[in-house]
């Protein structure tokens, strides 16, 4: 994950400081960026970071009603309790939503497992949506209701990776079914990687002429000639590349 993706995951744990203005401050203070380093940075900078509006409003009200408890330590305690309560409520709402979507029979399953099941469920539904024949028959190469029922049973035992691959296959097959041979060839040609300047030889990674000379004087000289070709090696030696 990149820094922004890690930060997004961190904000799920610290919604009280989920403010755009805090992004750069936290990332700069947490290099290299990780959940752990961001947590440490947030603790160090707790009196500098802006609070999310809902948390700021709640704290301001609490501090106003409790003037003897408005110091930084009391604020830290208040935000932690409020944050934990909010995270718990959010998790409960997510859990109920997943159970409603996936089936009451899964109640009691850990939320992490439900999230995995949801990903696979959504992939299966996307595949079935593409394969389903509106009239329930098999006309036009589409799946009948019976075929889809059989597929769904088999799909329950397929991994997320296998389902993703199957979805890509269905999308590609339906796309190419609408194209003529010329269009398919044209698309394949457009997606084919461009040949390197020294094809059929591999492209030599960046290297100085002196380092290449040293290699060509060693036991690896023949290997380099076979792999990269004499023209490319000479271009590097004489500064033409």
- Our measurement of the distance from residue 41's CA atom to the centroid of its chain's CA atoms, rounded to an integer in Å, reads 24
Is the four-CA dihedral 105, 108, 114, 117 of positive or negative sign?
A: negative
Rounded CA gap, 137 and 40, in Å?
Answer: 60
Q: How confident is the model at residue 220 (pLDDT cuts 50, 70, 90)?
A: confident
**Nearest partner of 227 among 239, 215, 238, 209, judged by Cα:** 215
Degrees, nearest 5: CA angle 155-159-165: 85
In the 8-state DSSP scheme, what is residue 217? T
So where are the chain's domains?
3-95, 110-180, 199-241
194 three-class SS: coil
In this structure, of 31-40, 72-81, 196-205, the range with the lowest mean pLDDT score is 196-205
pLDDT for 197 beyond 60: yes
Question: Quick one: pLDDT at residue 170?
Answer: 87
Residue 14's pLDDT is 94
Q: What is the DSSP string of 11-32?
A: HHH-GGG--GGGHHHHHHHSSS
Phi-psi region of 175 (alpha: psi -120 to 50; beta: other; left: phi over 0): alpha
Q: Quote the CA–CA distance of 144 and 94 in Å, as a whole number.
A: 34
Encoded tokens for 44: 């160090």
Residue with tokens 């309790």: 81
147 pLDDT above the threshold of 90: no
Among 105-114, 137-146, 154-163, which stretch is predicted with the lowest mean pLDDT? 137-146
For residues 41-57, average pLDDT: 93
- Give the pLDDT mean for 35-55: 94
Does the pLDDT of residue 139 top 60, yes or no? no
Residue 74: is its pLDDT beyond 90?
Answer: yes
Identify the pLDDT of residue 171: 87
pLDDT in tens, 5-41: 999 999 999 999 999 999 999 999 998 899 999 999 9
């Amino acid at each position: 994950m990149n820094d922004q993706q890690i930060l997004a995951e961190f904000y799920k744990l610290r919604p009280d400081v989920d403010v755009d203005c805090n992004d750069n401050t936290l990332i700069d203070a947490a290099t290299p960026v990780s959940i752990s380093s961001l947590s440490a940075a947030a603790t160090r900078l707790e009196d500098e970071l802006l609070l999310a509006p809902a948390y700021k409003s709640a704290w301001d009200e609490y501090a106003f009603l409790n003037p003897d408890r408005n110091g930084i330590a009391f604020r830290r305690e208040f935000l932690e309790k409020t944050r934990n309560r909010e995270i718990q409520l959010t998790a409960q709402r997510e859990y109920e939503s997943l159970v409603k979507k996936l089936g009451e029979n899964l109640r009691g399953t850990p939320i992490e497992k439900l999230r995995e099941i949801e990903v696979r469920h959504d992939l299966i539904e996307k595949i079935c949506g593409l394969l389903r024949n509106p009239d329930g028959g098999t006309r036009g190469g589409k799946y009948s209701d019976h075929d889809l029922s059989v597929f769904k049973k088999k799909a329950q035992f397929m991994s997320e990776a296998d389902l993703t691959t199957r979805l890509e296959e269905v999308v590609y097959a339906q796309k190419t079914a609408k194209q003529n041979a010329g269009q398919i060839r044209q698309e394949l040609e457009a997606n084919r990687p461009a040949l390197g300047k020294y094809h059929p030889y591999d492209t030599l990674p960046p290297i100085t002429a002196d380092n290449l000379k040293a290699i060509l004087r060693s036991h690896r000289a023949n290997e380099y000639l076979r792999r990269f070709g004499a023209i490319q090696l000479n271009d590097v030696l004489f500064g033409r590349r």
